[in-house]
């Protein structure tokens, strides 16, 4: 399996970033953003997304001056130890993301579609599906996401449009929510929900040029952020803040409200298939990022032997928390704490090291 091809273009980059950053919209992001910022939950989502975009452009600036992927650039700027520590950090981040998503999607499947299925079997099927996808490589995963993308975006927009008669704009009042400053600050903390977009930095060498990275950031992450913000806005207008922040499956709840006529109802079953496929692809991408970094860290020729081992470990980790409440608490800690280091601290550290190296180079040249 080749993991440094440099053949992926803009379409693949957009699809990968959009999928990995939008998965949270099918889970608890809408409820969490409303819980933190009330009527301005949609604004927090925008602030979080644009903050992540800014940090990605910081990393792209670094890659334009020091070619390579995240591990190689970190090693060149911070030495072998610094590069290895950063690699280990992102390995934990992506694999933790995959474990949490496996558990949440398995729980959601039990709640919505298959209440009688064994819990371990549900977790195993998600892990098995992700492992199967990974064997085809990142280019195949990217193309699958590119094919799925129009259906995912179209499906979400269709649901938002069909529930339009139920909108209650008064639920958006007071328009300042819990406070404009509070929404901006908490949006900066919720940036962890877009941590998956850092895959552009992790596999930067798999893309053709840095121009592809910029396009994927603008259109992939930007499109995902805008759609998530609209989803949160509509969700608020449908349920109001008091009820909305208690809903565990926001998109599913919105789909349940769709009633075309007396003969066509309960179309949410169709969208269960959509978010299951999206979830499996998102989990596969996250595990692939972790495997890629492990492969780079250990200088292995291929990641194939690691796929079953790591996937089984991730599935076992996903089953450790005793209940959904514990899973959500762990995810909240990761999003609001651990992920912030990877989004804010490490990109700014590499940026500062790049500027410092540039100044030293200029000084040596002038001397």
Give 235: exposed, middle or buried? Use CB within 10 Å, 0-12, 13-18, 19+: buried
Q: What 3 state SS string does the chain have?
A: CCCCCCCECHHHHHHHHHHHHHHHHHCCHHHHHHHHHHHHHHHHHHHHHHHHHHHHHHHHHHHHHCCCCHHHHHHHHHHHHHHHHHHHHHHHHHHHHHHHHHHHHHHHHHHHCCCCCCHHHHHHHHHHHHHHHHCCCHHHHHHHHHHHHHHHHHHHHHHHHHCHHHCCHHHHCCCCCCCHHHHHHHHHHHHHHHHHHHHHHHCHHHECCHHHHHHHHHHHHHHHHHHHHHHHHHHHHHHHHHHHCCCCCHHHHHHHCCECCCCCECCHHHHHHHHHHHHHHHHHHHHHHHHHHHHHHHCCCCCCCHHHHHHHHHHHHHCCCCCHHHHHHHHHHHHHHHHHHHHHHHHHHHHHHHHHHHHHHHHHHHC
Write the pLDDT tens digit of every residue in 178-189: 678 877 888 888
Write the pLDDT tens digit of every residue in 200-256: 999 998 898 889 999 999 999 999 999 999 999 999 899 888 887 777 788 888 888
- How many alpha carbons lie under 13 Å from residue 209 in its C-beta half-sphere? 2
| Among the listed residues 9, 46, 19, 65, the one whose alpha carbon sits nearest the alpha carbon of residue 213 | 9
Q: What percent of the chain stands above pLDDT 90?
A: 52
Overall pTM > 0.85? yes
pLDDT at 264: 67
- How many alpha carbons lie under 13 Å from residue 187 in its C-beta half-sphere? 23
pLDDT category, 360, cuts 50, 70, 90?
Answer: low
Of residues 3 and 284, the one with the higher pLDDT is 284
β-bridge mates for residue 259, sequence order: 265
pLDDT category, 363, cuts 50, 70, 90?
Answer: very low
pLDDT at 88: 96
| Among the listed residues 126, 143, 178, the one whose alpha carbon sits nearest the alpha carbon of residue 284 | 126
pLDDT at 4: 52
Q: Could you give the C-alpha distances from 250 to 97, 156, 170, 256, 280, in angstroms and in order?
A: 20, 12, 19, 10, 19
Write the pLDDT tens digit of every residue in 25-71: 888 778 888 878 888 888 989 999 999 999 999 999 999 999 889 99
Q: What angle do the packed helices 222-244 and 138-162 form, to 10 degrees?
A: 50
Rounded distance, CA 10 to CA 1, Å?
22
pLDDT at 367 exceeding the cut of 60? no
What domains appear along the chain, each with residue ranges and CATH number? 10-348 (1.20.1740.10)
């Amino acid at each position: 399996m080749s993991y440094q091809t440099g053949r992926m273009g803009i379409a693949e980059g957009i699809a990968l970033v959009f999928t990995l950053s939008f998965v949270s919209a099918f889970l608890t992001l809408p409820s969490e953003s409303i819980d933190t910022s009330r009527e301005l939950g949609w604004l927090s989502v925008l602030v979080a997304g644009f903050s992540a975009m800014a940090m990605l452009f910081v990393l792209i600036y670094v890659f334009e001056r020091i070619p390579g992927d995240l591990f190689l650039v970190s090693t060149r700027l911070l030495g072998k130890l610094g590069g290895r520590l950063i690699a280990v950090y992102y390995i934990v981040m992506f694999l933790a993301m995959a474990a949490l998503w496996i558990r949440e999607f398995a729980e959601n499947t039990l709640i919505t579609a298959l209440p009688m299925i064994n819990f371990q079997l549900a977790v195993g099927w998600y892990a098995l599906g992700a492992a199967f996808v990974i064997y085809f490589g990142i280019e195949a995963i990217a193309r699958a996401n590119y094919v799925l993308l129009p259906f995912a975006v179209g499906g979400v927009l269709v649901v938002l449009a069909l529930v339009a008669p139920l909108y209650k704009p008064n639920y958006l009042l007071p328009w300042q929510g819990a406070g404009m400053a509070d929404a901006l600050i908490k949006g900066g903390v919720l940036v962890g929900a877009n941590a998956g977009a850092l895959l552009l930095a992790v596999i930067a060498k798999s893309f053709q040029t840095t121009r592809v990275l910029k396009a994927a950031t603008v259109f992939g992450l930007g499109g995902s952020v805008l759609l998530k913000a609209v989803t949160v806005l509509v969700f608020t207008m449908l349920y109001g803040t008091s009820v909305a922040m208690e809903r565990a499956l926001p998109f599913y709840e919105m789909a349940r409200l769709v009633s075309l006529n007396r003969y066509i109802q309960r179309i949410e079953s169709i969208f269960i298939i959509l978010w299951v496929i999206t979830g499996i692809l998102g989990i596969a991408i996250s595990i692939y990022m972790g495997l890629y970094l492990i492969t780079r860290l250990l200088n292995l020729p291929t990641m194939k032997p690691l796929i079953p081992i790591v996937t089984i470990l991730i599935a076992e980790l996903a089953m450790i928390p005793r209940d959904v409440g514990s899973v959500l608490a762990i995810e909240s800690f990761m999003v609001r704490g651990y992920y912030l280091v990877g989004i804010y601290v490490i990109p700014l550290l590499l940026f500062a090291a790049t500027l410092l190296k540039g100044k030293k180079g200029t000084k040596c040249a002038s001397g």
